[in-house]
Structure 1
Amino acid sequence: MREVVLVTGGSSGIGRASAIGFARRGASLVLVSRSAEALDRAAAECRDAGASAVHVCPADVLDADAVQAAVDRATGTFGRLDVVVHSATVMAYGRIEDMDPEVFQRVVDTAVQGTFHLFQAVVPVFRAQRRGSLVVVSSLLASITTPTMSAYVTAKWGQLGLIRTLQQELRDLPDVHVSAVAPGGVSTPIYEQAATVLGNSAHPPQPVYTPERIARDVLARVANPRRLKQSGIANPIIIAGFRLFPAVYDALVAPLLKMFSMGSDEVPPTTGNVFAPVPDKEATRGPYRGI
């Protein structure tokens, strides 16, 4: 039986790579993101990859009614919903004292409120079916902190709290699975679309992985669910340093971030795609070499 899969953030990065991965398995897809134009391009790639069917639902995860409509589209069209991949997110850089409060709130709300809206739409479907897989793309930054990324760190810590709570609430349904995949640095376009007030561009930290590599971990969670899968060889080492040697971690994190994740160019302040999509910058991969 071919899978019916809904993917949020399906027009770019890990979400798009995951959608293409499911398409290669012959899945029927419902792709969700804010950009109709970018969704159409992603849908064409999924059809070329072998998807049985592809429907696009332009929607912002902050709009609860739109999220519900996308889930209803999947169940109404295909009669069921087997897998949901939640990859929608936005990012911002800046010191706390310099951060625009509206940018901070939008980044946090996209991860926390957006995830809450998706859970409220999907869980009743999975309860009625008594089966289903929900995979959320989390982040290494759900387990550590770094300077100049307060909005994204807060967003991902809050989102992981929701994920873990839902995992506990669904223990009565052994065939309903909620997994989180937490990548480190990934070569996606999110860095070119991030809001920033730092005055320079940002890059994914080393080691940098391809979105297709992270997508393989996402797809693997359907057959092999995990509460939290760290997707990156350095993640456990970094988390151990953060938890066990906080003074050393705090002394090193800022200079290492500046050395390996910040450009030497000049970039004017921008809100990036935080408030509205930038379709021309949406793609599966960003410009960085990944492994």
Structure 2
Amino acid sequence: MARSIANSVIVITGASTGIGRAAALQFAREKATVVVNGRREQVLRKLAEECERLGGRALAIPADVTDQEALKSVARQAIETFGRIDVWVNNAAVTLFARVEEAPYEAYRRVIETNLLGNIHGARAVLPYFREQGSGTLINVSSVVGKIASPYVSAYTTSKFGIVGFSKSLRMELQDAPGIHVCTVLPASIDTPLFQHAANYMGRAIKPLEPVYSAEQVANAIVHLARHPRREMMVGNAGRMEAFMHTVAPGLMEWMFARQVSKDHFQDRPAPESEGNLFKPMEEYETVSGGWRTRQSNGKFSGRTIIGTVALGIAVGWLIARSSSKQPGAPGRAGLHPLPGQPTRLSSR
């Protein structure tokens, strides 16, 4: 049975930009009460005003998700103000581009603390209220790289795999509370300021892998899960194809994806080392979009197009010969060799 969104109380972490901001605006259009959380108080206040203009009620509560007590305070203020919490969206995330051995340790740790522990802190903050109410929906935003690993973003990948595992474990713990639901969203490449805000120690400017989907698509998925809770939902056909291919041919998928990332995740211009917004918010961008969809290459075959074509071929072969369970081996080693026209190393070190 569909749950009503109007007048529901929704808490969203990481709401200043991107997916979180898009979700807050979409819930407001549905006449929900939205509690927006992030690190930039003035940005949150302006967002709350925009949500109210769209027809919802709104409250801005700044807090850092790496602080367990601060998130407990967010939950407490939401309850004191509105009387309940119906949906909690764990969305706050940061990312780091670096080789494992070259990433500053504190930067690596910060990604895990924000993305994974931030989700855990949010769950721990809201679950006592959900249990007291006997109902509630927890929506954890992971990523397609929570199912398929990606090089050069190992901290981000680790955190997103962790969110998937945490969600599964928590669902099992909550079997004694049938009114409480745990959902996981797995977006593909999304047009948000995440890439402008990323920490970068690769020596080259970064960009999202194409195709790039809108943050509004993810927001719509989050609203759908608030109405119709389910275990997991992927957003973006490219991610679905890659996940399927990884299931039936993991070695081949890793080999192809490693080369695609080396070729298509970096721009042809240098970039200085930067800690991005890991430790303090960046003032640039108060938007849903990072402007990446307007920069997509038109009429060209991207690495993901090739992977999708291969995935389709594998799917057809798998359906024809489903009795065979042997996985295809990867051609050669999965070492990351530069493609023609690329520098010998991606790193500036």
Structure 1 length-normalised TM? 0.96
Tell me which of 8, 13, 17 is aligned to 1:12: 17
Q: Are residues 1:140 and 2:144 paired? A: yes
Q: Are residues 1:47 and 2:75 paired? A: no
SS of residue in 2 equivalent to 1:170: helix
Equivalent residue for 1:269? Answer: 273
SS of residue in 1 equivalent to 2:205: coil
**Deviation beyond 6 Å, 4+ runs, structure 1:** none
Tell me which of 100, 107, 117 is aligned to 2:104: 100
Q: d(CA) in 2 for partners of 1:282 and 1:269?
A: 23
- Mark the runs of 5 or more structure 1 residues left unpaired by the alignment: none
Q: d(CA) in 1 for partners of 2:103 and 2:263?
A: 22
Deviations 1:30-85 (A, max 9, x none): 1111111221232222122211x211111001111110111011110111111111
Q: Are residues 1:38 and 2:43 paired? A: yes
Q: d(CA) in 1 for partners of 2:10 and 2:150?
A: 34
Structure 2 length-normalised TM? 0.80
SS of residue in 2 equivalent to 1:20: helix
Equivalent residue for 2:216? Answer: 212
SS of residue in 2 equivalent to 1:205: coil
What displacement does 1:193 show? 0.3
Equivalent residue for 1:169? Answer: 173
Tell me which of 67, 74, 79 is aligned to 2:78: 74
Q: d(CA) in 2 for partners of 1:252 and 1:111?
A: 27
What letter matches 2:24 in structure 1?
A
Q: d(CA) in 2 for partners of 1:65 and 1:95?
A: 33
- Name which structure has the greater RCO, CA cutoff 8 Å, separation 6+: 1
What letter matches 2:92 in structure 1?
A
Asked whether the 8 Å contact 1:7–1:86 carries over to 2, the reply is: yes
What letter matches 1:273 in structure 2?
N
Equivalent residue for 2:114? Answer: 110
Asked whether the 8 Å contact 1:38–1:279 carries over to 2, the reply is: no
What letter matches 1:261 in structure 2?
H
Q: d(CA) in 2 for partners of 1:116 and 1:212?
A: 25
Deviations 1:141-162 (A, max 9, x none): 1001111011100111112111
User: RMSD value over aligned CA atoms?
Assistant: 1.4
Q: d(CA) in 2 for partners of 1:228 and 1:208?
A: 20
What letter matches 1:196 in structure 2?
N
* Superposition map of 1:114-129 within 5 A: 114-129=118-133
Q: d(CA) in 1 for partners of 2:55 and 2:283?
A: 24
- Mark the runs of 5 or more structure 2 residues left unpaired by the alignment: 1-5, 297-349
Identical amino acids, percent of aligned pairs = 34
Equivalent residue for 2:3? Answer: none
Deviations 1:225-275 (A, max 9, x none): 111111111222211222332332232122211333211111100000011
Tell me which of 283, 286, 291 is aligned to 2:290: 286
What letter matches 1:168 in structure 2?
M
What displacement does 1:210 show? 0.6
Asked whether the 8 Å contact 1:62–1:110 carries over to 2, the reply is: yes
| Count of matched residue pairs | 290
What letter matches 1:98 in structure 2?
E
Larger radius of gyration: 2
Asked whether the 8 Å contact 2:51–2:58 carries over to 1, the reply is: yes
What letter matches 1:37 in structure 2?
Q
